[in-house]
Every structure is written in C-alpha cells, then in structure tokens.
Amino acid sequence: METIIIAQNAWDLCDNGTTTIRFYANDTLGNEGYIEINIRKDNIGPLINIITPILNQIYGNSTFSFELNITEGNLHKAWYTFDNGVNNYMFQGDIGVVDQDAWDLMSNGTANLKFVANDTLGNIGSSTVIISKNIYNPVIIVNLPKMDDIFGFVSPFFNITVSGVNINTTWYTIDGGIINHTITELTGAINQTAWDKLGIGIISVRFYANDSNGYLGFKDIYVIKDIISPTITINSPLQNQLVGIQAPIFSLFINEKNLLQKWYSFDGGDNITFTTDTQFDQVEWDKNGNGSVLVTFYVRDKAGNMNSSEVTIRKDAQKIPKVTN
C-alpha cells in the first residue's frame, strides 16, 4: 500500500464540485491497469442571505430577532459579531434573537452586524448589515409661544422644532393630558375650542413627540390667559368741572397687571398716548373751543383686552375784559 499526495497545481485546476481521479499502474511487461474514484471538491464558503434585520433598521434598548437563509450542504458552525470577531455569538438554525448583553455593549448610533458561517472543510462565508441603535428620547424646542406670553380670547400660535430618529407622532395638551391634540405640522394654532374651555390664569402647554421605538420626549411652556378687560376710574378731572385756558391735570386708577397701552382723546379726535398721569397735552387742549369737551380714556392690556371711560368737562378760555374809566 502506497500513500501519495495529489499535486497541488493539478488540484487547483479542478473546478468546485465532483472530480474523477484515475489511478494507473503497469508492470514490467507493459500491462497497464487503472481505477477511478469520484471525490467532491468544496472550496466555496457558505452563502448567507440576511432577510432581517434590513439595512438601516432602527432598534432601541431591547434586543431583536434575525432571520437568515444560509446555503451550505456541509454547514459546520454559524455565529454573529458586532466587533469584527472580537466577540462572537454562536447560533443554530436560520432564526434567532440577538444576545441582549451583546446589544447592550453597543452605543447609540450605527452598528455593523456581521453573520459568519463555515463548513466542515473550513471554508468561511459572511454577510453584514448596517443597523442603528437609538436610545435617546426625541428633543422638542418650543419657538413659540414664549414663556409667560399673554393671550386673550384667541388661542396662541405655536412653532416647535422636533429632533430625533424615526419620529412617529407629535401632539400637545393644554389640560394635563385629558385631551391630546395630534399635529402633523410643527406650526399652527392651539385648538380654539379647547382654549375656550380654559379659565383665566397660567396655562401649561405640553408638547410631546415619540419615535418608532417608543421613546418619548416632551417640553412644557407656560402662558397666561387673560380675557378680563382693564378697568378705569377717573379721579380727576371731575364731571362738568370748569377748566380754563390751561390744560388740566388728570389722575386715573387703572386696575390691570398686564397693562400695555394708555391713551386719551378729546371729543373722539386724535389719540394721545401717555405713560403716567400728568397734564393734558397743551397743544391738543388748545384745539378745543369753549364749551363741553368729552374726554375719553382708553387702556389695552397685553392680551388685547380694551376698555374706556369718559368724563365731560367744561372749557372757558375767554379772556377777562379790561375795565376802563
């Protein structure tokens, strides 16, 4: 019995698959004989088709399943790795679940999931899919309204910015979550019907956003609802008070903590704004003739609520005649 090694260069010329080898022998008289055997050559690694997860699929903290199609008649072992073989995780079959500890080692961002298999001859095949890990909540920035903005009967306008991965739903509430209002645009007006149901005072507006992995983010903004008009009490001048050529002084009591603007007019004429109680504008006073003058004071608050109060005074700007002998 003799053992020989097939010449490597001859073996290299053989294709993958079944190969017939014929062995010959002869004797000193020239008689020749041979025998044939069929062997199979396999130098191709397993073929791995990744069905799931798909490219760029996003997962959260929890692990996930995978499904493969491995083509190999002489499959030996199969495993996967996230770090190019530093840590390998064996599995059997075409369906499995990624090890939770392995996934926990992955930081937020993209991850290369590589599946590897070998056959009984040591041929190796692999396939990689890029996926993402998202463990952060969506972030919401409320551009409008601003904190402590004041509104009246008309509901506020909003403008928000939402950042995150695979944002799923965005909504807000102004009643602590009793009723949620889903929005598809990041700008718009707070639901007027819902706003009408709220009383005056501080209103909490909370905006929410979640992503496809269930992570939830929210942002609160507090605004003030004011639908009560300011009140004006005219301390002076008094009703039917007689005034001369000199513009009189006026004094008011205004009940409004969110006061925005104050002005007055004479007989419905030009509006004259003022900031503090003082003397009527002399130039405007001079435009009034003798007789009754209707003075109307106006106030407006930051929510747009207005009120007015009137007083009628009498003007007598005639010069005293000179007496001559």
Q: What is the fold of 47-133? A: Immunoglobulin-like (2.60.40)
The two domains 139-225 and 231-315 share their CATH topology (first three levels equal): yes
Structure token pair of residue 159: 């403008």
pTM above 0.75, yes or no: no
User: What pLDDT shows up at residue 271?
Assistant: 97
The model's pLDDT over 135-153, given as tens digits with 9 standing for 90+, comes to 999 999 999 999 999 999 9
User: What are the extents of the domains in the chain?
Assistant: 8-41, 47-133, 139-225, 231-315
Task: Return the number of other C-beta atoms located less than 10 Å from residue 2's C-beta.
Answer: 4
Task: Return the number of other C-beta atoms located less than 10 Å from residue 98's C-beta.
Answer: 21
CATH class of 231-315: mainly beta
User: What pLDDT shows up at residue 284?
Assistant: 95
- Cα–Cα dist 225/195, whole Å: 9
User: What pLDDT shows up at residue 38?
Assistant: 75
- Cα–Cα dist 158/145, whole Å: 6
φ, ψ of residue 111 to 5 degrees: the values are -140, 140
Nearest to 134 by CA among 73, 64, 185: 64
- Is the CATH code 2.60.40.10 the one for domain 139-225? yes
Positions of the chain with pLDDT under 50: none
- Cα–Cα dist 182/169, whole Å: 7
User: What pLDDT shows up at residue 41?
Assistant: 62
User: What pLDDT shows up at residue 224?
Assistant: 97
User: What pLDDT shows up at residue 324?
Assistant: 61
User: What pLDDT shows up at residue 19?
Assistant: 78
Instruction: Check if the beta carbon of residue 168 is closer than 8 Å to that of residue 211.
Output: yes
Q: 125-134 b/e with 16+ CB inside 10 Å = b? A: bbbebebbbb
Task: Return the number of other C-beta atoms located less than 10 Å from residue 120's C-beta.
Answer: 12
Instruction: Check if the beta carbon of residue 152 is closer than 8 Å to that of residue 305.
Output: yes
